[in-house]
Structure 1
Amino acid sequence: MAVLKIQDQPSLLRAIFNVDPDEVRSLIFKKEDVNVQDNEKRTPLHAAAYLGDAEIIELLILSGARVNAKDNKWLTPLHRAVASCSEDAVAVLLKHSADVNARDKNWQTPLHVAASNKAVRCAEALVPLLSNVNVSDRAGRTALHHAAFSGHVEMVKLLLSRGANLNAFDKKDRRAIHWAAYMGHLEVVKLLVASGAEVDCKDKKAYTPLHAAASSGMSSTVHYLLSLGVHVNEVNAYGNTPLHLACYNGQDVVVSELIEAGANVNQVNERGFSALHFASSSRQGALCQELLLAHGAYINMRSKDGKSPLHMAATHGRFSCSQALIQNGAEIDCEDKSRNTALHIAARYGHELIITALIKHGANAAKRGIHGMFPLHLAALSGFSDCCRKLLSSGFDIDTPDDFGRTCLHAAAAGGNLECLNLLLNIGADFNRKDNFGRTPLHYASANCNYQCVFALVGSGASINELDQRGCSPLHYAAAADTDGKCVEYLLRNDADPAVRDKQGYSAVHYASAYGRTLCLELMASETPLDVLMETSGTDILSDSESQAPVSPLHLAAYHGHCGALEALLSSLLDVDVRSPEGRTPLSLACSRGHQECVSLLLHHGASPMTHDYTHKKTAIHAAAMNGHPECLRLLMSNNDQHINVDIQDTNGQTPLMLAVLNGHTECVYSLLSQGASVENQDRWGRTALHRGAVTGQEECVEALLQRGASVCVRDIRGRSPLHLASACGRVGALGALLQATSASHTDTHLTDNHGYTPLHWACYNGYDACVEVLLDQEVFRKIKGNSFSPLHCAVMNDNEGVAEMLIDSLGTTIINTTDSKGRTPLHAAAFSDHVECVSLLLSHGAQANVVDTNMRRTPLMMAALNGQTNAVEVLVSSAKADMAFQDRKRNTALHLACSKGHETSALLILEKVSDRNLINCTNAALQTPLHVAARKGLTVVVQELLGKGASVLAVDENGYTPALACAPNRDVADCLALILNSMMPTSPMVTIAALPALSLTQTVINHHPTSNHISKGVAFDAPPPLRPDHASYCRPECPLSSADDELNDSDSETY
C-alpha cells in the first residue's frame, strides 16, 4: 500500500486532516464531492473516522456522505473509528445507522476490530446493537479470540459478560485460551480458566494450550497451566509433547519447567524423535540439550529412520551441540537406515568444524554410507572442497568405488566444483576409471555441463571418445544438456567424434535434436556436415544397418517442437519427408503434437502433407485433425505448392473430417468444411462423419455437418443410421438435431436397421430416458413397428424401469402383452433377466402371468425357474399366482426346469407354494418326476422337501430308473447299482428299492408301480433335454440387437 502525499489529495481531504471544520463546511457549501474516493476507494468519511473527529463526521453525513461506504478492503468508516478507539466518532456513526454487522474482506466486523485494538468503550457501544457476539471472521475467530490474542483483559471481561462463548473454536479448532497461552497473556488465561475454559482442549492437530505456551517460551503461562494439573506428556497429532516443542524452539526456561513437572525426556514422537533430537537440531538448543542430558536423556536414541541426536546436530551444523553430545558419550559411527554416519551427514552439508571434531574423536572416514559412498564422495558431490581436504587428511584411497563403481572423482565431476576436482586430480585420482555403467568422470561432467570440470579432465588426459555401456560418449551427454554449447565446442576441438552412435543407433546429433540444442547442432555441423554425420540425406537415413537409428534427428526435433534445431537440420537435408519405420514423416509428428512453427518450417522446405504412413495410411492432415490442432491444419491446407486432397482416406476409409468429428475438435471440423471436405464420404463400415458425431454427441460438429447437407438417412453396413447411434449412446442433443433434419427427409427407410430395430429400441435397451422421451414425441416412432422384440421388451430386458413406464404411459397398456416372433411377452423378458421391478410394473399393468411362448411353450415362471432367477420366481409364484402346473413342449414344469439346472433356491420357492401331490409327481416327456431331476443334480434340500411333500421314490422314468437309480452318474453305474440291489434283496425291483435301508426314508411312499412295458426296457437314464439359460440363447434366433459401437469399432459381438 503506497503512502499518499496530503498535498496531492482533494481540498476536502486536506481540510479533514488539518482538523478544520470551518474549511470543511466551506468546501461542502461549494459543492465539493463528499463521496469522492482515492485509489483505494476511501472516502472523506473514512478519513474523518480514522481521525476520530465527531464534528466533521457529523458534517459529512448530514451533507450526504455514505455512512456505510466500503474501501477496497471492504472497511467501513465504523471499522476505522473503532480501530482508532474513538468513542465519539463511533457514537455519531451509530446515530446515523452505521452497519454494526459490516464485514471487511477478512469477514471481520467492527467488534472484531474493537477487540483487537482494546477499544473497550467502543465495544460497549457496539454490543447492544449486535444479535450475536460470537460471529466469526474468515478464519473462524470470534471477537474473544482477537481479544485473547491481544491480551486485553478488560475487553475479555466485557465479551464474557455479554455472552461470548469461551469455548468457541476457529477453523483450526483453536480456542481463545490457545491464543492467550501462545502469546503468554497470563491474566487472560487465568480469566478464561476462571470462567470455565477447558485447559486441556485440543485443536485439529491436537495441540493443547500447554503446547502453545511451551512452543513460544511463555514460562509463566506454562507454570500456571502445570499447576492446574494438565498432562505434561500430552502428545499432538505428530506425537510431539510440549517438551519436544520447547526444545525445537530453544526455550530452555520452559524445558526446565517441564522437566521439573515430570516430563518424560525420552518420549519419542511418531517419527521416533526424542526431545534431545530436537534440541540437537535447534539453533538455540544448546542449553535445552544440556538440561536434557543432565536429566537422563538417552544420548544414542534412534529415530525410525535410524538417526541419533548426533546425526541431527550434523545435519543442521550445530557444532556446540555436537561437541556436547560427543563429550557425553555419543556413539561416533552410529549408522542410520541409509548406512550414513554423522560424518557422512556433515560431509553432505559441508559442516567442516563438525567433520574436524568427529575425525578427532575417532570417526571412521572409510565407512560406507548410502549406496556404499564414503564421506568424501558426499563432500565432493556437494562441492565442499575444505571438507574434502579434512577427509583426505585422515588417510583414504581416493579411487575406492561405491556400490555403483563410482569413485570420489566421479562425484566431484557430477557435482561440478572445480576446486574439489582439481584437489582429487592433484593427488592422483584415476580420471579414466569407469563405474558399473561404464562411465568415466568425463561422462558425468559432460552430462552436467560443467565446462570447467570438462576442461580440467580433458587437460589431464581423460579419454574423449570413451563409450559407456549404452554406447554413449561424453559428447552424447553434452549434446543433450549443453544450452550454451561451451562443453560441446571444447569436446569437438579436442577430437570428440560426433559420428559415434550409441547401442540404439543414436548419435550426438540425435541427442541435440531431441533436446533442442541448436547451438550444439551448429557446432557439430561446423566440424562435419550434418548429412555426413547422419550418413546420408533423405530416406537412406533409415537403412536396415544395425548402426542406424530407428528415427532420424529430424523426427526428434519435429516431435518435440524444437524449431531452431529443426531449421539447423533442414539446411543440411535434401529430403524432408524422411520416414520412420512406421512410415511417419517429421511433418506428421509435428502436426500430431501441434507444433505449428515446425509445421510452417517443414512446409517451407517442401514437406508433403499427403505422404502417408505405412500402417494406417494416415497423412499429416489426419494427424492434425485427429489431435485437434486447427492452426496446423490451416497451414497444411493453405500450402499452395502441392495439391491437397482434404478427403484423403486411411486404411479404414476414414477422412480427416471423420477423425476431427470423432474427437470433438469443432474448430478443425469448421476448417475442413471450409476447404470443401465431403460430408458424405463413408468408411469401410459405411459410416460417415455424421455417424461419428452421433456417437460422441458433439452437438456443434453435428450442427456443422447438417448445415453442410450431411444426410441423416445414410446407413452403415449393419443398417444403422446416425439416429440409431445417437439413441444407443444417449446423445440427446445430437439426437434432437438429427430428428429435426429427419423431418425434412420425408422417408422412413433409415428408421430400422438390418435386424429391424429402430432408434427407439436402442434407446430403450440402454435406458436413456431423455432420448426415449424425445423419440416418443415423434409420431413416426409411436407408429413404426420394426422388430417384434419391442422397445418394451428391450427396456425390461435391461432393467430400465423408468423407460418401461414411459413407454406404457405413452403407448398405452396394449403393449404390455405384445409378443415377439417366438411368442414371448415383455414379462418373459423381465423374468428371464430377474428384473423384479420391471416384473412388478408389468404385472401391475395387466401382464398375463400364464401366457406361453410359441417356441418351447414356456411361461414367464418357467423362464425364471430355468435361469435360477429367484427374485422373479418369488414375485411370480407369490404376487402373480402363476400356474405352476403348466408344462412346456417336453412336458417339463417350472419345478422340473429349476431342478434341471441345479437352481435350488428357485425350486424351493416353487415347492413352498405346491401342495398338490399330483404336481409333485408330475412327469415330463422322459417320464421323469421332479424327484428324478433333483436327485440327479444332487439337490439335497430339494429332495428332502419333495419327499416330505409325498414324492414317489418308486416312480420309474422311460429308462426304467427310479429316483434312486437316477442319482447314478452314468448308465453303466445305474445298471451295476440295480444288480447289487437285486442281489441284496432278491425280490421285485419295486420292493427292492422301496425297502432300501440306506436311504433312511421315513416319509409315506406312494405305490406308483410301472407297467410291464416300462420295466422291459433296457436300464438306462437320460438327462432332461438341455435347457439354454443365457441371454444369447434367449434371443439369438430372432436377429438380436447388438451393442452400441465402442469408438466405432466393427465388433459383431451381440448384446443379448
Structure 2
Amino acid sequence: MLEDFSKEFFSVENSPVESIYESSDGSSSGIGKGFSETESVLHLDQLYSEPGTLGAEAYQSLASKYKLYSYASSHWTEHLALCETSAPIWLREAAKSLLDVKTSNCRNWLNFYWADVGAAINQNPSGFDQLTLAAFFNLHETLAGLLSQGASQRVKDQALFWASRAGNYRIVARLLEAGADPNVQGPEVHTALTAAAAHSHLDCVNTLLADARTDPNVRAKNGRSALSFACGNGYNEMVKVLLDQGGRASDTDNSGTTPLFWAAGGGHKTIILALARLPGVDINHRDKVGRTIVSWAACDGMEEILSFLLRLRGIDANPKDEEGLSPLSLAARYGHTAAVAILVGNRKVDKASTDRNKRNAISWACGNGHVDALRILLSGGCPGVDDEDIDGWTPLAWAIQNNVPELVKTLISTGKVDIERRDPRGRTALYWAVDYGHAPVVKALLQEGADPESATNNGKTPAMHASAHGRDDILEFFSTRTTE
C-alpha cells in the first residue's frame, strides 16, 4: 500500500510555492511564524493551504480509486495508538516512515487527512515533523522512540503545543519531561495552556499546571489567558482549577476585557457569580471602548444575562462608554426590545441619560427605526421626546431619515412633539421627508397635521421641493390634502 502512494498525488504546480523543498531562488524554505527560523523545514502551511483548491482533483481521485482510503487516512493513527505497545516492530517502523513529511507517502496522506478531517481545526499544521505528528496523533511509543534519538527545543515545543491542542495529556506529560517549554506561543494564537483551555482539555490543563514552569497566566496572541478561555466557554471545573493554581481574574486581554466579560458574553451565570465574589475583581470594569459587562449585555440584547447582572450587588446600571452611551441607549440603538424593557423597568436605570452628543435613548431608537423599542421607552416614561441634540436634531428629525411612518406617528402621538420645528435654514420635518423621498413618511406627517405651506428661509415649500425633484407620488399627497 505504501508503494501505491509513493508518487505525488497532490501536485504543487498550482501552489504559491515553486517546490515543496525549495523557494524560487533555490534556497531551503524556513519555518513559518511562531517558532525559531534557524532550522530549515518544509513550508507545509503553503503546501496545505486551501485544500479545497490545491488538490481537489487529487482528493476526489484518491477517494474514488481507493474506497477505504478516506477512512484509513482519518483513523489509522487512532487504531495504531490503541495497539502501539503490542504492535510488531515492522509495523511501528512502517508507521514511523509514514510520519516523515519528506516523503510523498506522508504528504499525500496528511494533505488528504487535512482536507477531509483536519480542516475542522481551522489551522493547518505549519512545519510539522515526525515528532509533532506523533504528538498530535497520540502515538506514545513512536514519540518515545523519536525523543530517544534527540530533538531540538523548537521541535519539542511545537510538539507540546499540538499535543495539548489535540487533548493528548499523556503525550503532554512526556514532552514536559523531555524539556518542552509550556509557555512558548504556537502557530495558532495559543500557547499549550491556552489551547488546552480553549478546547476544553481539562486533563491537559492539569498536566501543564503540574509543571512548575507553566505560567497559569500566560497569554495567547490576543492577550487572553487560559482562565479567559475557560470562562468564555463555560468550563466550570477548569475555571476552578485555574483559579486555584493562581489564575488572575483581573487580567485584561488586548481589548481590555477581563475573564468576567467572557463569562457574561457566554451567558455562564455560575462562573459570573464565582468571579464577582473574588477580591480584586471589578464588576464595573471598563474595556478599551469604555463598556462594562452591563453595557455589552444591553448592546448584544442578552436580556437574561442583563437581568442577572443588574441583580449583582454593586453593579452600575448606568455606565457610559467612550461615546457616552448608557446601556439603555445601547439597547435602544440596536433595537433590543426585551433589553430595553428590562432597563426601563429597573429603578437604578437613568432614563434621561444622554451621550456626548446629547442624544438620549429615544433619539437612538428613532435614528435606527426601532418602533417597538420606542414604544417601550415612551410607555416606560423616558423623557426627551422632543429634545435637541448637539446638532439641533430632535428624535423626530432622526426618525424621518427612516422610511417608517409608524415611527413618526408614535412620536407625534405623545403630544409633546413640535411638528413644525425648523432648522437654521427654515426646513421642517415635512420638508426633510420630501427631501429624503420618503413618501409614506410624508403622508404620515400630513395626516398628523404638518403644514404643507411652511416655507424655508428661501421661500421654498415642501410641495415645491417635491415638484423640483419630479416626485409626482408625493405631490399627489399635497393635492389630496388641498382638496380635502
Q: What TM-score, normalized to structure 2?
A: 0.70
Given that 2:422 and 2:428 are in contact with CA atoms closer than 8 Å, whether structure 1 keeps it comes out as yes
Q: Does 1:801 pair with 2:371?
A: yes
Q: Provide the secondary structure at the position in 2 that maps to 1:684.
A: coil
Given that 2:328 and 2:351 are in contact with CA atoms closer than 8 Å, whether structure 1 keeps it comes out as no
Structure 1: runs of 5+ lacking an equivalent = 1-413, 415-441, 448-466, 473-500, 536-548, 917-1056
Question: What does 1:422-501 align with in structure 2 at a 5 Å threshold?
Answer: 443-444=3-4, 467-470=6-9
Q: Say which of 709, 718, 730 aligns to 2:289.
A: 718
Given that 1:792 and 1:815 are in contact with CA atoms closer than 8 Å, whether structure 2 keeps it comes out as yes
State the partner residue of 1:670: 240
Q: Does 1:569 pair with 2:146?
A: yes
> Structure 1 residues 574 and 818 mapped into 2: Cα distance closer, same or farther (>3 Å)?
same
> Structure 1 residues 783 and 729 mapped into 2: Cα distance closer, same or farther (>3 Å)?
closer
Structure 2: which amino acid aligns with 1:682? T
Q: Does 1:705 pair with 2:267?
A: no
What CA deviation, in whole Å up to 9, does each residue of 1:377-415 have, x standing for no partner? Answer: xxxxxxxxxxxxxxxxxxxxxxxxxxxxxxxxxxxxx9x
Deviation at 1:727, TM superposition (A): 0.5
Structure 2: which amino acid aligns with 1:650? A
Q: Say which of 166, 173, 192 aligns to 1:593.
A: 166
State the partner residue of 1:338: none
What CA deviation, in whole Å up to 9, does each residue of 1:201-224 have, x standing for no partner? Answer: xxxxxxxxxxxxxxxxxxxxxxxx
Given that 1:646 and 1:656 are in contact with CA atoms closer than 8 Å, whether structure 2 keeps it comes out as yes
**Larger RCO (CA within 8 A; separation ≥ 6):** 2
Given that 1:822 and 1:855 are in contact with CA atoms closer than 8 Å, whether structure 2 keeps it comes out as no
Q: Provide the secondary structure at the position in 1 that maps to 2:324.
A: coil
Given that 1:514 and 1:556 are in contact with CA atoms closer than 8 Å, whether structure 2 keeps it comes out as no
> Structure 1 residues 758 and 632 mapped into 2: Cα distance closer, same or farther (>3 Å)?
same
State the partner residue of 1:693: 263
Deviation at 1:725, TM superposition (A): 0.8
Deviation at 1:890, TM superposition (A): 5.5
Q: Provide the secondary structure at the position in 2 that maps to 1:631.
A: helix
Structure 2 distance, partners of 1:853, 1:722, is 40
State the partner residue of 2:64: none
Q: Does 1:894 pair with 2:462?
A: yes
Q: Say which of 131, 134, 149 aligns to 1:554.
A: 131
Given that 1:470 and 1:502 are in contact with CA atoms closer than 8 Å, whether structure 2 keeps it comes out as no
Structure 2: which amino acid aligns with 1:628? S
State the partner residue of 2:181: 608
Q: Say which of 630, 633, 637 aligns to 2:205.
A: 633
Structure 1 distance, partners of 2:372, 2:10, is 67
> Structure 1 residues 785 and 611 mapped into 2: Cα distance closer, same or farther (>3 Å)?
same
Structure 2 distance, partners of 1:887, 1:562, is 83
Q: Does 1:768 pair with 2:336?
A: yes
Deviation at 1:855, TM superposition (A): 5.3
Deviation at 1:656, TM superposition (A): 2.1
Structure 2 distance, partners of 1:471, 1:766, is 48
Structure 2: runs of 5+ lacking an equivalent = 12-40, 49-72, 103-125
State the partner residue of 1:778: 346
Structure 2: which amino acid aligns with 1:631? D
Q: Say which of 872, 875, 880 aligns to 2:448.
A: 880
What CA deviation, in whole Å up to 9, does each residue of 1:925-974 have, x standing for no partner? Answer: xxxxxxxxxxxxxxxxxxxxxxxxxxxxxxxxxxxxxxxxxxxxxxxxxx
Deviation at 1:620, TM superposition (A): 0.7
Structure 1: which amino acid aligns with 2:186? D
> Structure 1 residues 794 and 503 mapped into 2: Cα distance closer, same or farther (>3 Å)?
closer
Structure 2: which amino acid aligns with 1:636? L
Deviation at 1:574, TM superposition (A): 3.3
What CA deviation, in whole Å up to 9, does each residue of 1:570-593 have, x standing for no partner? Answer: 3433346517xxxx7222222222
Structure 2: which amino acid aligns with 1:716? D
Given that 2:352 and 2:384 are in contact with CA atoms closer than 8 Å, whether structure 1 keeps it comes out as no
Q: Provide the secondary structure at the position in 1 that maps to 2:350.
A: helix
Deviation at 1:692, TM superposition (A): 2.7
> Structure 1 residues 780 and 552 mapped into 2: Cα distance closer, same or farther (>3 Å)?
same
State the partner residue of 1:841: 410
Deviation at 1:777, TM superposition (A): 3.2
Q: Say which of 515, 521, 526 aligns to 2:77.
A: 515
Q: Provide the secondary structure at the position in 1 that maps to 2:349.
A: helix
Structure 2: which amino acid aligns with 1:804? L
Q: Provide the secondary structure at the position in 1 that maps to 2:222.
A: coil
Q: Provide the secondary structure at the position in 1 that maps to 2:155.
A: coil
Q: Say which of 621, 624, 637 aligns to 2:193.
A: 621
State the partner residue of 2:109: none
> Structure 1 residues 646 and 667 mapped into 2: Cα distance closer, same or farther (>3 Å)?
same
> Structure 1 residues 557 and 881 mapped into 2: Cα distance closer, same or farther (>3 Å)?
same
Structure 1 distance, partners of 2:307, 2:391, is 34
> Structure 1 residues 890 and 684 mapped into 2: Cα distance closer, same or farther (>3 Å)?
farther
State the partner residue of 2:386: 817
> Structure 1 residues 602 and 828 mapped into 2: Cα distance closer, same or farther (>3 Å)?
same
Given that 2:256 and 2:288 are in contact with CA atoms closer than 8 Å, whether structure 1 keeps it comes out as yes
Structure 1: which amino acid aligns with 2:286? R
What CA deviation, in whole Å up to 9, does each residue of 1:46-65 have, x standing for no partner? Answer: xxxxxxxxxxxxxxxxxxxx
Structure 2: which amino acid aligns with 1:807? L
Structure 2: which amino acid aligns with 1:720? R
Given that 1:824 and 1:852 are in contact with CA atoms closer than 8 Å, whether structure 2 keeps it comes out as no
Question: What does 1:274-293 align with in structure 2 at a 5 Å threshold?
Answer: none
Deviation at 1:711, TM superposition (A): 1.3
Q: CA RMSD in A?
A: 3.9
Given that 1:765 and 1:795 are in contact with CA atoms closer than 8 Å, whether structure 2 keeps it comes out as yes
Structure 2 distance, partners of 1:513, 1:569, is 22
Q: Provide the secondary structure at the position in 2 that maps to 1:636.
A: helix
Structure 1: which amino acid aligns with 2:428? T
> Structure 1 residues 811 and 513 mapped into 2: Cα distance closer, same or farther (>3 Å)?
closer
Give the length in aligned residue pairs: 397
Given that 1:512 and 1:521 are in contact with CA atoms closer than 8 Å, whether structure 2 keeps it comes out as no
Given that 1:886 and 1:893 are in contact with CA atoms closer than 8 Å, whether structure 2 keeps it comes out as yes
Structure 1 distance, partners of 2:181, 2:294, is 38
What CA deviation, in whole Å up to 9, does each residue of 1:729-772 have, x standing for no partner? Answer: 1122332343233x526x78x71112111000011122223322
Structure 1 distance, partners of 2:264, 2:354, is 21
Deviation at 1:791, TM superposition (A): 0.8
Q: Does 1:909 pair with 2:482?
A: no
Question: What does 1:651-662 align with in structure 2 at a 5 Å threshold?
Answer: 651-662=221-232
> Structure 1 residues 795 and 522 mapped into 2: Cα distance closer, same or farther (>3 Å)?
farther
Structure 1 distance, partners of 2:234, 2:460, is 55
Deviation at 1:623, TM superposition (A): 0.6
> Structure 1 residues 871 and 443 mapped into 2: Cα distance closer, same or farther (>3 Å)?
same
What CA deviation, in whole Å up to 9, does each residue of 1:153-197 have, x standing for no partner? Answer: xxxxxxxxxxxxxxxxxxxxxxxxxxxxxxxxxxxxxxxxxxxxx
State the partner residue of 1:858: 427
Structure 2 distance, partners of 1:553, 1:756, is 55
Deviation at 1:720, TM superposition (A): 1.5
